[in-house]
Amino acid sequence: MNIKLSQFIGERCITAEQGQKLLDEIQPRLLAGEIVTIDLAGVKTLLSLFLNNAVGPLFRHFNLQQLYRLLKFENPSDSQRLTLDLVLKNAESYHRNPAIKKAVDDTLAKILEEME
């Protein structure tokens, strides 16, 4: 399946709702084992909120290596490549390793303990 994101969503991919729309389109295909390619040519703005909603929930079903194999992003700008990389790694940690989230929250508790 090939999706030209600038046509499917628009030049600016920003909101959670837009991300949900993409997720609804690609998730069934990915779960069926189909390779999905998202072409970012013509996308001027790609924000983390959009990506967190578009691909974050996929990590309930896949790990990062599996997604790298099934979900391809073509023609990202350098900036978008950075955002994609960060969002994907962050989302994997968040969904598949609850201990990391707890560790992040625990840093606040630790700060309080050190104040005692």
Partner 1 sequence: MAQKIIPIPTLNDGPKDFQMLFDIWSQVNGYFEDVSFDFSGCRFLRPNAVAFLGGLARLIESRMGKVAFDWSTLHNSWVRTTIRQNGFAGAFGDHSAPWDGTSIPYREDPIFRPDEVAEYLSENWLGKGWVHVSEALKNAIVERVLELYVNAFEHSESQIGVFSCGQYFKKLNQLQLTLVDFGIGIPANVRGYLKRVRPDLPAERLKAEDCLKWAFQRMTTTKPGKTGRGVGLDLLKSFIKVNHGILTVYSNDGYAVITEGQELYKSFSPVFEGAIFHVKLTCDEAYYCLAGETPGA
Footprint of partner 1 (CB under 8 A): 12, 14-16, 19, 44-49, 52-53, 56-57, 59, 77-80, 82-83, 86-87, 90-91, 93-95, 100-101, 104-105, 107-109, 111-112, 115
Which token pair is 95? 């969904």
Minimum distance of partner 1 from residue 86's CB (angstroms): 5
Contact 87/64 with Cβ under 8 angstroms? no
Choice between 37 and 93, CB closer to partner 1: 93
**DSSP string over 20-84:** HHHHHHHHHHHHTT--EEEE-TT--EE-HHHHHHHTGGGGGT--HHHHHHHEEEES--HHHHHHH
Query: Cβ closer to partner 1: 35 or 45?
Result: 45
Whichever of 29 and 94 has its CB closer to partner 1, that residue is 94
Residue 39 CB, nearest distance to partner 1 (Å)? 16
CA distances from 26 to 31, 76, 83, 104, 108 (A): 9, 18, 19, 30, 37
Least distance from partner 1 to the Cβ atom of residue 6, Å: 12
Closest separation between CB of residue 115 and partner 1, Å?
A: 7
